[in-house]
């Protein structure tokens, strides 16, 4: 099991099957609802899969409708950029980080465990 964040969930029962890798855009994001929370599942330009909160921290807009470049996702409304590996904003106007969730791949299946 691979984990990428300090607060990463590690319990097997925390992981939920979300989709298959081929269901995602080649480079881009799709929105999933996990335990009532909207999560953007994104594939970056190197084929890695990330899971972040879908709601931009600047306003109530879906980040999965934005553009992905490298490990960055850009909000379509005002252009805020977030690093999907850390959740940190890397471009204004957003200044508040978004939550990053733990992704586990099992073959082509994508599993996500929600973090705080």
Task: Give the residue from 56, 48, 54 showing the smallest Cα distance to 33.
Answer: 54
- Name the β-bridge partners of 73: 68, 82
Q: How far is the CB of 57 from ligand FES (least distance, A)?
A: 8
What is the nearest approach in angstroms of ligand FES to the Cβ of residue 94? 5
CB 52 within 8 A of CB 82: yes
- Residue 31 contacts ligand FES per CB under 6 A: no
Query: CA angle, corner 53, sides to 47 and 58, nearest 5?
Result: 115
Size of the site for ligand FES (CB under 6 A): 10
The answer to whether residue 96 forms part of the interface with ligand FES (CB under 6 A) is: no
Query: Which residues here bind ligand FES, judged by CB under 6 A?
Result: 56, 58-59, 61, 75, 77-78, 80, 93-94
């Amino acid at each position: 099991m691979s984990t990428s964040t300090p607060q990463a969930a590690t319990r097997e029962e925390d992981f939920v099957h979300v989709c298959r890798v081929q269901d995602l855009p080649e480079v881009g994001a799709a929105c999933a609802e996990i335990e009532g929370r909207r999560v953007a599942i994104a594939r970056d330009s190197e084929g890695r899969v990330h899971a972040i909160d879908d709601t931009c921290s600047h306003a109530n807009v879906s980040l999965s409708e934005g553009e992905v470049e490298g490990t960055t996702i850009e909000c379509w409304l005002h252009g805020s950029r977030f690093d999907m590996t850390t959740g940190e904003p890397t471009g204004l106007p957003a200044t508040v980080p978004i939550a990053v969730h733990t992704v586990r791949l099992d073959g082509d299946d994508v599993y996500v465990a929600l973090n705080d």
